[in-house]
Amino acid sequence: MRAAWKPRLWRELLYGLIVFAFYTFVEALHGPAREAAAYRNAWHIFDLERFLHIDVELALNQWLAPREVLRTLSNYEYATTYIVAAGIMLVWLYLRRPDRYREMRNSFLLLNVIAIACFWAYPVAPPRFLENTQFVDTVLQGATWGSWGSPLVGHANQLAAMPSLHVAWALWVSVVLAELRHTRTVQVVSLIHVAVTLFVVMATANHFLLDAVGGAIVVWVSVLLARHFTPVPDEVRAPDAFFLHVESPAAPQHVGGLTVVDTSDIPLRREAMVDRVKTCLHELPRFHQRLESRGRWLRPRWVEHREIDWDWHVPEYDVTRPDGLPGGFDALHALLAKIAGEPMPRDRPMWRWVCVQGVESDRAATFFLVHHVIADGVGTIAQSLILLEPRYQPKLPTQRMPGVLRRAAATTVGLAQLATDGFPKVRLATGDNSARAFVTVDLPLDAARDVARSHGVRVSDLLLTLVAGGLSAAVPTVPHGLLRVSVPLMVRPPGAAAEGNLTAAVMTEVPLGPVAGGEPARLTEIARRSRRLYTGTRMLASNFAMRAAGVVLPMPGHAWFARTVYGGRTFQAIVSNMPGPDIALTLAGVPLAGVYPILPLAPRAPIAVGAIGWDGVLSVSIAVDPALVADIASLADAMKVVYDELQTGD
């Protein structure tokens, strides 16, 4: 595990000086008008307490004033203990808990800044300043050293009663101890200190009860803000947590790849796959980490998982038929669909690499599944390439990002475009469980590029047309109209780590049903509509929304946002075209004969189609909800028919 981050001491001292300078600035604003406002506000608070029958300060003050020993102890408690407690806590955090220091320090700075801002905007005099109320200034009466009762701190700001920083600092220490799950004894002692401080600030006539309530509110707000905005080591990033929120038992969110290997000369051995993972484990951090929950309001974080269950992570299946014949690709696809439809438990690293024997006499297979919280499709390809040999660096297109101002302008335009895109006009049939079917289709890559080139479109447009035309032909009950499709676009900069989701989902629409002019006309219409995918504005806006929502919204709000924008309410299908390797690769010494992407179904979006160019083949995978297509083979055949029609131009 990485060593915990520890800040520079001079920088921490500088933060303290800045906050103190802010306090000094507010104190320098003292004048007759400010003093009059402080007295007026104090009377408002006192009157409100009397109206609510919670004005306990005078009774406590009159009880304490004649008791000399208790009065003196209370004076010194008021002057010192909150400073000592907070100071000890900050030093202890810095030295012993650097992993949580930044968050806790931020909350302490925030509570002071918020309190000082309140002193500025709403000065309040303490109860002991109110005339004709019989309050006794016990601190002044005892000339308590270290307070305004002594020359040492005679200049202290005495018009800063709301909120009570004495209560706030003591309560902050108690909250930090609870956050860190410190021993029960220490937490009880801290709570006693809070209770004593609450009594003292009122009994010494320095604060109203509502000042203490204000201090508690400031602590609550500052802790929440610090939690939300402070980076936590290995905290799940907002775009990654997005896919934890959208996942449901009916829509597990796994991405991955299916690899078919040629076992003519070398058999595929599960033990060799395990050895390969162990060799590369240091390059795959999420393979030895699991999620740790941090409560309902905080994103989880990645923590080390020492014991890897190799039987679960790298299991072996044999699809050979009872009569001893190979099970074939239908059996492989059925097994993949079953396992991909099972949610991954979160008490272990969220990946699997399944070995499948008995596909054909000279073919075995593996499928590599990674939860979407770990990586997007391109990231999963990058991770799988670490396990293959020889080492290969994907040739990703260069990402040319505009400057800050142009990017901001483009994002603003894109947000306006997204806001006016409306909702899907066509909805496809979906089931209420995680059942799915899976099939693959192979198309000659060069020929597919030629077809796209001859029509003046992109290969992605061709893929969208195969999906729309195939659904129109294979599903008699498919509604006619415009189908909303989510197309993931890469925003992954060169050299980015394999982990993380660095894509943006942009919507386009494809016509379902008969089209005058046949499939060539459908392709032309789809290409026209898909131009929005490549202008960049919607892509930037989509990526910004995914990141910003997780930063601005608390966890429950981010979860609501994710479930609202991702799935059947906004799109009905996913179609993705990804780059693949252009060299021969091996898996545990066995040559690869085919590679296919695995995409998850989004909630209430019953079809996901992925394509990857590999070794001269456009390898297409199709995952569907059986409620949409009862016979997935018919959909694959229909897509081939559409391709043939586009190739011949008939």
Per-residue pLDDT at 492 = 64
Say yes or no: 321 and 415 in one domain.
no
> Which has more pLDDT, 153 or 365?
365
Task: Please indicate, yes or no, if residue 442 is contained in any of the structural domains.
Answer: yes
* Residues 307, 299: Cα–Cα separation, whole Å: 24
The pLDDT of residue 3 is: 44
The answer to whether residue 555 scores a pLDDT higher than 90 is: no
What is the per-residue pLDDT for 347? 92
CA atoms 241, 246, 252, 257: torsion sign? negative
As a whole number, mean pLDDT of residues 381-390 equals: 87
**Average pLDDT of the chain, as a whole number:** 87
Q: Are 359 and 329 in contact (CB under 8 A)?
A: yes
Give the model's pLDDT for residue 153: 43
CATH for 521: 3.30.559.30
Give a yes or no: residue 149 inside a domain.
yes
pLDDT at position 576 is: 92
Q: Give residue 421's pLDDT.
A: 75
Residues 6+ away with beta carbon under 8 Å from 265: none
Residues 451 and 360 in one domain: no
In whole angstroms, give the CA distance from residue 223 to residue 164: 16
Mean pLDDT of 385-412: 73
Q: Which two tokens stand for residue 212?
A: 């203490």
Mean pLDDT along residues 579-607 = 89
Shared domain check, 363 and 249: yes
- Do 292 and 213 fall within a single domain? no
The stretch 354-359 carries a mean pLDDT of: 95
Render pLDDT for 17-27 as a digit per residue (tens, 0 to 9).
Answer: 888 888 888 88
Record the tokens describing residue 66, joined without a space.
């004649």
- What's the rounded mean pLDDT across residues 498-502? 79
If asked whether residues 87 and 224 sit together in one domain, one would say: yes
Q: For 115-128, how does the pLDDT look when each residue is reduced to its tens digit (9 = 90+)?
A: 999 999 999 999 98
Q: What is the mean pLDDT of residues 390-412?
A: 70
**Sequential DSSP letters for 568-588:** TTT-SEEEEEE----S--EET
From CA 163, how far away is CA 63, in angstroms rounded?
A: 24
What are 410's two structure tokens? 């483009």
Tell me the per-residue pLDDT of 201-255, one tens digit each, with 9 for 90 and over.
999 999 999 999 999 999 999 988 887 777 667 888 888 999 999 999 889 999 9
> What is d(CA 362, CA 326) in angstroms, rounded to the nearest whole number?
9
Verify that 106 and 214 share a domain, yes or no: yes
Report pLDDT for 144: 57
Q: How many domains does the structure of the chain reveal?
A: 3
Distances, alpha carbon 411 to alpha carbons 102, 129, 215, in Å: 31, 55, 40
Choose one of 181, 204, 229: the last residue of a domain: 229
In 3-state terms, the chain is what percent helix, strand and coil (to 5)? 50, 15, 35
613 near 436, Cβ under 8 Å? Answer: no
For the segment 550-561, the average pLDDT, to the nearest whole number, is: 83
User: Within 13 Å, how many C-alpha atoms sit on residue 596's CB side?
Assistant: 27
545 pLDDT band (50/70/90 cuts)?
confident
Confidence (pLDDT) at 60: 93
pLDDT score at 511: 94
The two structure tokens encoding residue 453: 């080139």
pLDDT score of 2? 42
Check: CB of residue 357 under 8 Å from CB of residue 268: yes
Question: How sure is the predictor about 400, in pLDDT bands with cuts at 50, 70 and 90?
Answer: low
Separation of alpha carbons 623 and 632, rounded Å:
9
pLDDT in tens, 415-436: 887 777 777 888 998 988 788 9
Taking only the tens place, the pLDDT of each residue in 260-291 is: 999 999 999 999 999 999 999 999 999 999 99
Angle at 464 between CA 593 and CA 639, to 5 degrees: 60
Of 618, 616, 617, 622, residue with least CA distance to 637: 622
Residues whose CB is less than 8 angstroms from the CB of residue 2 and which lie 6 or more positions away in sequence, other chains included: 233, 234
Percentage above 70 pLDDT, the chain: 93
Measured CA to CA, the distance from residue 372 to residue 120 in angstroms comes to 48
Q: Ranked by mean pLDDT, which of 94-103, 293-302, 309-318, 567-576 comes out on top?
A: 309-318
Last-in-domain residue among 187, 212, 229: 229
Element (H, E) at 555: helix 555-565
Residue 4, domain member (yes or no) = no
Residues 251 and 108 in one domain: no
For residue 524, pLDDT over 90 is answered with yes
Residue 320 lies in a domain: yes
350-364, 485-499, 521-535, 555-569: least confident range: 485-499
pLDDT at 108 over 50: yes
Domain membership flag for residue 267 = yes
In the three-class reduction of DSSP (H, G, I as helix; E, B as strand; rest coil), residue 124 is classed as strand
Of 48-62, 141-155, 327-341, 489-503, where does mean pLDDT reach its minimum?
Answer: 141-155
User: In whole angstroms, what separates CA 586 from the centre of its chain?
Assistant: 34
**Cβ–Cβ under 8 Å, residues 154 and 221:** no
Residue 377 to residue 239: CA distance in whole angstroms: 14
Q: Which one, of 471, 491, 489, lies nearest residue 481 by Cα? A: 471
User: Does residue 159 contact residue 119 with C-beta atoms inside 8 Å?
Assistant: yes
- pTM above threshold 0.75: no
For residue 406, the model assigns a pLDDT of 78
Q: pLDDT tier at 149 (50, 70, 90 boundaries)?
A: very low
Whether 382 has a pLDDT exceeding 60, the answer reads yes
Show the tokens assigned to 34: 């400010």
Amino acid at 410: A
Give dist(CA 291, CA 242) in Å, integer.
Answer: 14
Main-chain phi, psi angles of 351, to 5 degrees: -150, 155
Q: Which of 203, 229, 255 is the last residue of a domain?
A: 229
> For residue 354, what is the DSSP state?
E
* Res 147 pLDDT > 70: no
- Are 409 and 527 in the same domain? yes
Kindly tell me the burial class for residue 97, based on how many C-beta atoms sit within 10 Å of its own C-beta (0-12, 13-18, 19 or more).
Answer: middle
Quick check: is 611 in a domain? no
Residue 52 pLDDT exceeds 90: yes
pLDDT, residue 148, reads 46
Q: Is 390 exposed, middle or buried (0-12, 13-18, 19+ CB in 10 A)?
A: exposed
Q: What is the pLDDT of residue 356?
A: 96
Q: Residue for token digits 């995978």?
A: 621
Tokens 């079809």 appear where?
607
Distance CA 146, CA 128 (A): 18
Q: Which two tokens stand for residue 371?
A: 């939860």
Q: Is 598 among the domain residues? A: no
Of the pLDDT bands very low, low, confident and very high (cuts 50, 70, 90), residue 533 is confident
Looking at the chain, the whole-number percentage of residues with pLDDT higher than 90 is 54
The predicted pLDDT at position 495 comes to 61
Confidence at residue 78, expressed as pLDDT on a 0 to 100 scale: 87
| CATH code for the domain of 287 | 3.30.559.10
Across the range 589-607, mean pLDDT stands at 93
C-alpha 354/C-alpha 295 separation (Å) is 32
Whether 79 shows a pLDDT value over 80: the answer reads yes
Residues 378 and 464 in one domain: no
Q: Check residue 150 and give its pLDDT.
A: 45
Pair (320, 172) in one structural domain: no
Q: 13 with 159, same domain? A: yes
User: What token pair was written down for 258?
Assistant: 């299916």
Tokens 């545990």, residue located:
588
Is the same domain home to 304 and 377?
Answer: yes
Mean pLDDT computed over 431-442: 89
CA atoms 236, 241, 243, 247: torsion sign: positive
Structure tokens at 249: 């038992």
Range of 65's domain? 9-229
Mean pLDDT of 397-402: 58
Structural domain includes residue 608 = no
